[in-house]
Amino acid sequence: MSKTTQCLIIYLVLCLSIGTAFSQGLAPPSNVAAVDTPNDDGSSITIKWDAAPEDSGISGYQILRRIAGSGLEEVGGMLPAGSTTYVDSTIEKGSAYVYIVRAVTETEATVESEETAPVKGTGEWFHMGKIPLFFGMILFSAAILWNLYDARSGKEIFVRRIPGLEAVDEALGRATEMGRSILYVLGLGQVDNVATIASMTILGQVARRTADYETPLLVPCNDPIVLNVVREMVKSSYLDEGRPDAYNEENIFFLTDSQFAYAAGVDGIMIREKPAAIFLQGTFYAESLIMAETGNSIGAIQIAGTDSEHQLPFFIAACDYTLIGEELYAATAYLSKDPMFLGSLKGQDWGKLVIFAAIVLGVILELSGVNWITTLLQRVR
């Protein structure tokens, strides 16, 4: 082959390839911009460009970058045809980068955009997308603190009627009438458990009434520390009512610390003593329904209360009254008059009110096509 022929072939091939590129009207990616990625630690730069028209024949993009004064290098792999952004998280902090977006066709023809202005990655001290969250947090904290302060300064805080609590008198009355005892089960919680504390507060109130009525009060415990606290508590209730003589320490006793054996032990007490009223208040696990079932079978009036969500259905189905979750805390706040409980309860109610308002307002706004509230609540990466 002569040199001329070779030149001709090379020339033809070149023409052809350039020709294909031009015949498809391959335009360089437009409006290419590189910016420091917002709300990050400064380890990335975001590159954006306009989407090419659908018939452009572009099959993908490549990102090229260079630190001022050095050569071009490719970053990342081939990006799919539809993409319009790329986050380069392989940058070196403090260096300024210049980017080029290169469009690639199926025939491997390429066309490059203009260079962007140099850009550095910088870290932000505050995540701007989290402003609503930040204010939400501050406002809720303020609501809690305000109400705590209010409660501490002796302001009366109203707590609504709680049906399960009102049934206590009914249950005690019945036990007294029948001349039977009352059984109080505190569950398997430890002494620092919120529900156990709540349960002990309710027990304190129950003990005051039993002191008055001279009804025997049985409290089988499964935790030695709880046992000691409960003994002290019941004793002081009897003292407050002026009936220290009616207090019988042996009625508050340690049964066992293992789950099912405890339930079996309580069952035995129920069947032997046939208490007229049974209180199941505190933290319960799977043993809940064993006790509730036996209590039901001896015909006792049963008042349950727990924040163990999984046991609530069984209590509701098998007991006469049930304090559901937060109701137990509200009952404690109401009975103990502890400003900390009362104040938080009120503060949380304010929180619910705000959520309530956000939902009602949000529904109206969304239906009229205004997205203010959802924009506020949406998570920003």
Partner 1 sequence: MEVLGIWIAAFLTLCIFSFLYRDNPFYRFAEHLFIGLSVGYSIVVTIHQGFIPLAWEPLSEGVNALQSELTSEGTPETKEALSGLFKIIPIGIGLLFFARLSPRHTWLIRYPIAILIGFTAGAAIPNVLQASIFEQTYGTLTPFAAMHAGSLSTGDIVGAILITIGLICTLVYFFFSVEHQGPVGWLSKVGIAFLMIGFGAAFGNTVMGRVALLIHRVGFLINDWLGSIF
Partner 2 sequence: MFEKLMNIDRRIIFVLVAVVVIIPTLIPIRLPTRVAEPTQKLYDYIDELPPGSTIIMAFDYGPSSLAEPEPMAKAVLQHCFNKDVRVIGITLYANMPTLADKLMQKIATENGAVYGEDYTFLGYRPGALQVILGMGTNIAGVFETDYHGTAIAEIPMMENITNYDQIDLLLDLAAGSSTEAWIIYANTRYNLKIAAGVTGVIIAQMYPYLQTNQLVGFMPGYLGATEYEKLLNAPGDGTIGLNTASFVHLLIIGLVALGNIAFFIQRRREE
Partner 3 sequence: MKRQVPLALCFLFGIVMILTQFSPHSYSQGVYREVINWNLIINPFALILAVATLIQTHMTRIQRRTEHWQYSLVVFLGMAVMVLIGIPLGPQNSYVEWLYNNLQVPMDATMFSLLAFFIASAAYRAFRARTFEATLLLITALIVMMGNVPVGDLIWNSVLSWLPMEDGASKVRQWILDIPNLASRRGIILGVSLGVISQSIRIILGIERSYLGGGD
Binding site for partner 1 (CB under 8 A): 130, 132-133, 136-137, 140, 157-161, 258, 260-261, 264-265, 309-310, 312-314, 316-317, 324-327, 330, 345-346, 349, 352-353, 355-356, 358-360, 362-363, 366-369, 371, 373-374, 377-379
Kindly state whether residue 352 participates in binding partner 2, applying the rule CB under 8 A.
Answer: no
360's contact among partner 2, partner 1, partner 3, none, with CB below 5 to 8 A by partner kind, is partner 1
Kindly state whether residue 286 participates in binding partner 3, applying the rule CB under 8 A.
Answer: yes
d(CA 196, CA 307): 10
Burial class (CB in 10 A: 0-12, 13-18, 19+), 115: middle
Longest dimension (CA), the chain: 126
Which among 289, 290, 320 has a CA at the least distance from the CA of 304?
320
What six digits make up the tokens of 38?
């917002």
Residues 124-143 touching partner 3, rule: CB under 8 A, are 124-127, 130, 133-134, 137, 140-141
What is each CA distance from 129 to 38, 205, 350, 351, in whole angstroms? Answer: 9, 49, 25, 22
Q: Are 164 and 321 in contact (CB under 8 A)?
A: yes
Q: In the complex with partner 1, which residue's Cβ is closer, 9 or 145?
A: 145
Q: Which residues pair with 281 in a beta bridge?
A: 305
124's contact among partner 2, partner 1, partner 3, none, with CB below 5 to 8 A by partner kind, is partner 3
Per DSSP, the three-state class of 267 is helix
Q: Tell me the closest approach of the beta carbon of residue 300 to partner 3, in angstroms.
A: 12
363's contact among partner 1, partner 2, partner 3, none, with CB below 5 to 8 A by partner kind, is partner 1
Residues 285-324 touching partner 2, rule: CB under 8 A, are 293, 297, 309-310
* Beta strand pairing call for 277-283 and 301-306: parallel
What is each CA distance from 342 to 65, 145, 167, 330, in whole angstroms? Answer: 61, 12, 22, 8
Residues 89-108 touching partner 3, rule: CB under 8 A, are 93
Residue appearing with tokens 């109080």 = 184
381's contact among partner 2, partner 1, partner 3, none, with CB below 5 to 8 A by partner kind, is partner 2
Q: In the complex with partner 1, which residue's Cβ is closer, 30 or 258?
A: 258
Q: Tell me the closest approach of the beta carbon of residue 297 to partner 2, in angstroms.
A: 7
Q: At what angle do helices 288-297 and 259-273 cross, to 10 degrees?
A: 10
Q: In the complex with partner 1, which residue's Cβ is closer, 3 or 352?
A: 352
Q: How many CB atoms are closer than 10 A to CB 50? A: 12
What six digits make up the tokens of 154?
């002796």
Q: Which residues bind partner 3 (CB under 8 A)?
A: 39-43, 93, 123-127, 130, 133-134, 137, 140-141, 144-145, 148, 192, 197, 224, 254, 256-257, 260, 286, 289-290, 292-293, 296-297, 309, 313-314, 316-318, 320, 325-326, 329, 340, 344, 347-348, 351-352, 355
